[in-house]
Structure formats: C-alpha cells, structure tokens
C-alpha cells in the first residue's frame, strides 16, 4: 500500500541522506587537508629557496627542488636550470608572476608555485624569481579527487542498498500487523454477522406478536439470548487477545507453584470430562515454581484442557504432563482423536483459524483460544508447538525458560 511504500521510502532516505552528507563532509575535509598540506609544503620549499643567497641558488652544484630565475634591469634573464624552460614563454611567465606572486600559476600543462623579491647579483640590482613545479602534487590531488568521488559514489550506493533492505525489514512488521488487523476485522465481522442476524430475526418475531406472553416467546428469546452471549464471548476474547498482544504489555509476575495450579485446574475439569467418559491422566512434578502471572497461566491451562476435552471423542484419553528440567519447564496436553495434519499444526495458532476437524466437532468455537494461549506463552518468553500423528492423537507442548524464583523452595 502507498502508506507503507512512503514509510519505507522515509526509512531509506533518512539514513541515506545523513550518511551521504557525512561522507561528503569527511571526504571534503580529507581533500582540503591534503590540498592545504601539499601547498604549504611547496610554499615552504619556495621560502627556503629564497632564503639562500642568489649566488648559491644559481650555482649548478646547489641541489634544490626550486628553480631560480634572475632578471636584470636591462632585460637580461638567467636561470639555474635552462632545460626546464624549453617551450615556455619565459618573459610572459615572469610578467604573470609579477602580477600576483602568491598564487599558483597555471602555465600550459604546468602548475607553478612562485616567489618574487628584489635582490642583488654581483652587485647588480635584480628581480629574483623562485619557481617550484607543483604539477606532480596537483596530479596527485586530482587522482585523490577522482578516488574520493568514486569511493563516495560506491559507498552511497552500498548505503542506499543497505538502507533499502533495512527499510523493507523495518516496514514488514507494520505491513504484517496491518494485514492482521484487516483479517481480524474481516473475520470478526464474519463471526458476528450470523449470531447478530439470528438475534435480530428472533427479536423481530417477538415484536411481530405483541399480544403473546414471554413464556410463549421463550423459544425466540432463548435463541436471541444464546446468540448475544456468543457475541459477548467473541468480543471479550478479542479484547483479551488485543491486550496480550499489545506492544509493551507487561504481566504481573509472582512466584507461582505450577504444580498446585495444574492440580487445581485439572480438578475443575474432572466432572465435565467424566460426563464424556474420557480417561484423564496426569503426571505432575512436585513443587515446580515459576515467576509468572498466576491468572494468565491458569487461563493457559484452561484453554488447552478445554480444547482437548472438546476434540476428544467419548471413551478417549487426555494426558496432562508437567516437568521441571534443568533449563526449562515443560507442560504438555495430549488428547486422543482424529489428529491434525502438518499444515493444520502450523496454522492452528492463527486467529480465527478453524480446521475441518474443529468445524465438525463444534460450531461454537471462534478459533481464538489457541491464539490467546500463544500470546500468554510469548509474554512469558516461552514457546508453544502443536504435534500430531495426523490420525489418533494431538499434543500441545509448552516450553518455559528457567529463571530465578524469589520464593522457590
């Protein structure tokens, strides 16, 4: 959607612009430092060369990187290195130096750093020019510029690619959350539509016979009440799921004896399980303590046991197991029955998901119970998985990481 593309573009452009700007500043500083240092070094050479006597500067034995040119007032010109000026219009060059002796002259293919002063040579007044060939340094700076530009472009492209990948991964959870919200609204609307239609129809039937007594309309009122209770149950489950999945949701954690809690929860199911002639077996380790929200964990156990009872046929079997391991606590609820396929096991925790088996067994299920169970387990930092042989049994196994308990015995 456009809003996610816009968000992704912002996520990509902000770091890209910031990094590109910083790189530009850094590379510009590198070039400025290199250029300033190189030019200062050249000017220092010129200054050092000008500090020696003209006689020494003009001697063939004086090895210095600068070339000395002297111009007598009668127009005669002498140089310390004649071959350097081959093909150079020397008078024109001297005129350019006199115009601005402090600048770097561009003369043909040469870049020259120059110095000028009045002096004497063999007791004759002269104009003395000191010339430094800055061409190699300028070529080095040009190569440095090209290198920095290439590195800058490559780096910006790499940062752009990484920013795109990062922005895509950053926006994806938003996209998934939005799609889940749309699915939730669509599924909730679908689930609410039928009971709402039935309730309204029953009320209309009652309203169409105003002279009948409440007792005479009991069938329609009972039906409407049942549907309204279903809608109320759905809304409460949706609110519960939203609360658990809310970002930053923190449950109140206390030291809880899971062994006692599991025993009590199993006792509350004994009567309803007995009515279906189901065998209930339990293997509960003693004094298993855990830092958690007692109400939420009890709800978790209730959801799993209620789910097992719902889909276990008469004369079937439900097994509840609670184990304390060195690094984790495992809870497992297994029930006999038709079993689930691999695909159903993968999707069973999705909101409003109903397998073909669940449709056959119960028309009063919204497919939110296991989603709530997963949210509770996730809030505890644990994991839950569904296992089945696809034919005769299904199991839900919860793994909770061991953490220090304040009051553990």
Q: Which of 43-52, 126-135, 196-205 has the lowest mean pLDDT?
A: 196-205
The DSSP letter of residue 383 is: E
* pLDDT, position 133: 87
Q: What is the average pLDDT score of the chain?
A: 82
User: Cα dist. 403→90, 329, 337, 338 in Å?
Assistant: 88, 10, 35, 37
Question: Is there a domain that residue 291 lies in?
Answer: yes
Residue 408 has pLDDT above 50, yes or no: no
* pLDDT, position 1: 53
Q: Of 125, 141, 157, which residue constitutes the final position of a domain?
A: 141
Question: Is there a domain that residue 45 lies in?
Answer: yes
Of the pLDDT bands very low, low, confident and very high (cuts 50, 70, 90), residue 102 is low
With 0-12 / 13-18 / 19 or more C-beta atoms within 10 angstroms meaning exposed / middle / buried, residue 236 is exposed
Rg for the chain (alpha carbons), in Å?
44
Question: Is there a domain that residue 307 lies in?
Answer: yes
Of the pLDDT bands very low, low, confident and very high (cuts 50, 70, 90), residue 243 is low
Angle at 258 between CA 253 and CA 263, to 5 degrees: 140
Please write the tens of the pLDDT for every residue from 134-175.
888 889 999 999 999 999 999 999 988 888 888 777 777 777
Residues 396, 269: contact at Cβ < 8 Å?
no
Cα separation, 200 vs 188, in Å, equals 18
The DSSP letter of residue 85 is: G
Angle at 138 between CA 133 and CA 142, to 5 degrees: 160
Cα separation, 391 vs 336, in Å, equals 9
Residue 239 has pLDDT above 50, yes or no: yes
Residue 366 has pLDDT above 50, yes or no: yes
Q: Of 84, 107, 141, which residue constitutes the final position of a domain?
A: 141
Question: Is there a domain that residue 240 lies in?
Answer: no
Cα separation, 331 vs 322, in Å, equals 5
* pLDDT, position 23: 92
Question: Is there a domain that residue 360 lies in?
Answer: yes
Q: What is the dihedral of CA 391, 393, 394, 399, to 10 degrees?
A: -130
Question: Is there a domain that residue 186 lies in?
Answer: no
* pLDDT, position 109: 79
- Residue that has been written with the tokens 């599991």 in this structure: 262
- The phi and psi torsions of 112 (rounded to 5 degrees) equal -125, 135
Residue 125 has pLDDT above 50, yes or no: yes
Please write the tens of the pLDDT for every residue from 300-323.
898 899 889 988 888 899 999 999
Q: Of 103, 119, 141, which residue constitutes the final position of a domain?
A: 141
In this prediction, residues 213-226 reach a mean pLDDT of 79
In this prediction, residues 275-287 reach a mean pLDDT of 90
Angle at 167 between CA 181 and CA 346, to 5 degrees: 45
Domain range spanning residue 71? Answer: 2-141
Tokens of 123: 């007791």
Q: Which residues contact 40 (CB under 8 A, 6 or more apart)?
A: none
In this prediction, residues 53-63 reach a mean pLDDT of 78
* pLDDT, position 25: 94
In this prediction, residues 221-234 reach a mean pLDDT of 77
Question: Is there a domain that residue 210 lies in?
Answer: no
Residue 185 has pLDDT above 80, yes or no: no
Instruction: Give the CATH number for residue 271.
Output: 3.30.565.10
**Predicted TM-score (pTM) of this structure:** 0.52
* pLDDT, position 29: 94
| Percent of the chain residues past pLDDT 70, beyond the cut | 83
In this prediction, residues 255-277 reach a mean pLDDT of 90
- Domain total of the chain: 2
DSSP string, 270-299: HHHHHHTT-EEEEEE-TT-EEEE-HHHHHH
Residues 132 and 266 in one domain: no
Residues 262 and 391 in one domain: yes
Q: Please tell me the total number of residues recorded for the chain in this structure.
A: 409
Question: Is there a domain that residue 32 lies in?
Answer: yes
Q: Which of 46-55, 116-125, 227-236 has the lowest mean pLDDT?
A: 227-236
Cα separation, 253 vs 240, in Å, equals 18
């Amino acid at each position: 959607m456009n809003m996610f593309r816009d968000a992704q573009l912002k996520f990509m452009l902000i770091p890209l612009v910031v990094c590109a700007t910083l790189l530009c500043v850094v590379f510009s500083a590198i070039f400025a430092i290199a250029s300033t240092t190189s030019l200062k070094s050249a000017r220092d050479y010129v200054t050092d060369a000008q500090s020696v006597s003209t006689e020494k500067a003009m001697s063939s034995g004086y090895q210095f990187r600068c070339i000395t040119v002297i111009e007598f007032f009668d127009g005669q010109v002498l140089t310390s290195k004649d071959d350097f000026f081959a093909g150079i219009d020397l008078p024109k060059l001297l005129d350019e130096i006199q115009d601005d002796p402090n600048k770097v002259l561009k003369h043909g293919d040469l870049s020259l750093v120059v110095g000028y002063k009045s002096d004497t040579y063999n007791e004759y007044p002269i104009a003395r020019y000191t010339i430094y060939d800055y061409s190699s340094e300028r070529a080095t700076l040009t190569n440095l510029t090209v290198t920095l530009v290439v590195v800058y472009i490559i780096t910006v492209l790499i940062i752009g690619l990484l920013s795109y990948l990062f922005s895509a991964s950053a926006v994806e959870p938003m996209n998934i959350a939005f799609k889940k919200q749309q699915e939730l609204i669509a599924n909730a609307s679908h689930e609410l539509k039928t009971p709402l239609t039935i309730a309204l129809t029953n009320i209309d039937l009652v309203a169409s016979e105003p002279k009948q007594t409440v007792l005479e309309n009991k069938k329609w009122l009972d039906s409407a009440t049942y549907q309204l209770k279903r809608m109320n149950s759905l809304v409460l489950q949706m609110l519960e799921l939203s609360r658990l999945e809310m970002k930053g949701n923190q449950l109140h954690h206390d030291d809880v004896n899971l062994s006692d809690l599991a025993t009590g929860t199993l006792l509350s199911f004994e009567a309803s399980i007995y009515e279906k002639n189901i065998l209930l077996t339990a293997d509960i380790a003693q004094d298993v303590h855990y830092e958690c929200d007692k109400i939420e964990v009890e709800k978790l156990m209730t959801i799993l046991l209620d789910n097992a009872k719902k889909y276990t046929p008469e004369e079937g079997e439900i097994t509840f197991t609670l184990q304390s391991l060195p690094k984790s606590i495992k809870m497992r609820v297994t029930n006999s029955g038709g079993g689930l396929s691999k695909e159903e096991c993968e999707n069973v925790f999705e909101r409003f998901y109903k397998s073909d088996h669940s449709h056959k067994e119960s028309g009063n299920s919204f497919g939110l119970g296991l989603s709530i169970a997963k949210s509770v387990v996730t809030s505890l930092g644990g994991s839950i998985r569904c296992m089945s042989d696809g034919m005769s049994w299904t199991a839900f196994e919860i793994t909770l990481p061991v953490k220090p308990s304040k009051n553990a015995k």
